[in-house]
Structure 1
């Protein structure tokens, strides 16, 4: 079986975006939450360039995965669960980059809240999509376990629910919570939704990025092991 896999790059880019968006909003709000790890100075150029780069990766690869279904030889439904939400996220990031690059004072909190008001509808419904994706992962064993030939994650081959729950709760579930909180978190008086969004996207983003980065190793090993005769897999 020949697999074409670029969900590694997509996962890392999506994870970085989930980490950066709440930090961007913290800079706009003038807040200093734990693990901010970015400059609190309001400089829109760097944010626009970063969101544009991530958006270009996610939009292009998400579009290809949505219409081409490269993972179909392994699981024909996984392209829909991963590719389509990634495409939506990529377009949102490109739109944000365009707005930040062309606005006169792009980091003015009131102007940004006004601009984000209609966009928050899209983010909220992306949260609904992610919630249903999480439900499908658990109900239909959509992610399942990695093949036994895959290093590290293949050790859980006989326990598919472990990876299903990790995807459903930590990756998709927390990302959905952040999206659902987003319309309320951008309000100036937000005291509950804002930290919920910040930590939900931070944890989900770190998990997405770390897991996808690890897959550069595990997917390489998988493809090598699939082409190896016998059961003496390389780990």
Structure 2
């Protein structure tokens, strides 16, 4: 799968190394940002065009579900020594994607519950959301624990390091702990928000909801920017190792 020439040039058989965590990172990052934005609008009793939110959630959820399911069920997706990527990227994407599809269905079929709630209705809209979302928040909690496990594995085994042939990220190839800490830190942020979700929804605790919004917004923005950057770095890696 990997070949090293006399000049120490890394060569990869890309026919055996499919990779698409670029689009997964973009969809996951934007998905987190949309969850935060929707929650903020609901807490502020802002008018909602629920069909638009449903379509956005459905599109991102479909991308994450399809790619995450393929990566989860194809073992190993990349037999060149990266089987752990199936777990690290595939399974969380699958879980998040299915959650977004579920949210899309709720917003599409029962959108009037949220769209019609206005300032004079007080907390009616958020209370309806709490009742609908609390049961599945237990799974969100479990995914948060999984994120902590992934972060711990990243730190322990110094995962995520890019080879020197990859533009930009490869500049840190001699310091693998840098990218390991960076990506693991993102999973920790997502995990913090996830494990707080059921407790925040139980009593609609605005402090906990605020913490969730902050950590997910930060993680979502970084995932989005990092995913966009990877379109350059991953293409560069492929070109440099063909």
Aligned to 1:36: none
Gaps of 5+ in 2: 1-11, 115-124
Establish whether residue 205 from structure 1 lines up as the match of residue 206 from structure 2: no
SS of equivalent residue, structure 2 residue 166: coil
The more displaced of 7-16 and 191-200 is 191-200
Aligned to 1:173: 188
Deviation for aligned residue 1:54: 0.4
Q: How many residues align?
A: 217
Aligned to 1:231: none
Deviation for aligned residue 1:186: 3.0
Confirm or deny: 8 A CA contact 1:182 1:197 kept in the other structure. Answer: yes
Deviations 1:57-88 (A, max 9, x none): 00000001111243332412122111001100
The more displaced of 74-83 and 90-99 is 74-83
| Cα distance between partner residues in 1 of 2:83 and 2:103 | 32
Deviations 1:6-65 (A, max 9, x none): 10000000000111101111111117xxxxxxxx42221111110000000000000011
Deviation for aligned residue 1:187: 4.8
Deviation for aligned residue 1:142: 2.4
Aligned to 2:36: 22
| Cα distance between partner residues in 2 of 1:186 and 1:20 | 18
Confirm or deny: 8 A CA contact 2:134 2:202 kept in the other structure. Answer: no
Q: Give the alignment of 1:2-151 within 5 angstroms.
A: 2=14, 3-30=17-44, 40-68=46-74, 69-103=76-110, 105-107=112-114, 108-143=125-160, 145-151=161-167
Q: Give the alignment of 1:215-234 within 5 angstroms.
A: 215-227=230-242
Deviations 1:137-174 (A, max 9, x none): 1111222x2011100000000000000000111x1010
| Cα distance between partner residues in 1 of 2:32 and 2:111 | 26
TM-score scaled by length of structure 2: 0.86
TM-score scaled by length of structure 1: 0.88
Deviations 1:173-194 (A, max 9, x none): 1000111121233355413211
Confirm or deny: 8 A CA contact 1:184 1:194 kept in the other structure. Answer: no
Gaps of 5+ in 1: 32-39, 228-235
Aligned-pair Cα RMSD in Å: 1.4
SS of equivalent residue, structure 2 residue 206: coil
| Cα distance between partner residues in 1 of 2:155 and 2:236 | 27
| Cα distance between partner residues in 2 of 1:159 and 1:5 | 23
| Cα distance between partner residues in 2 of 1:79 and 1:150 | 21
Structure showing greater Rg = 2
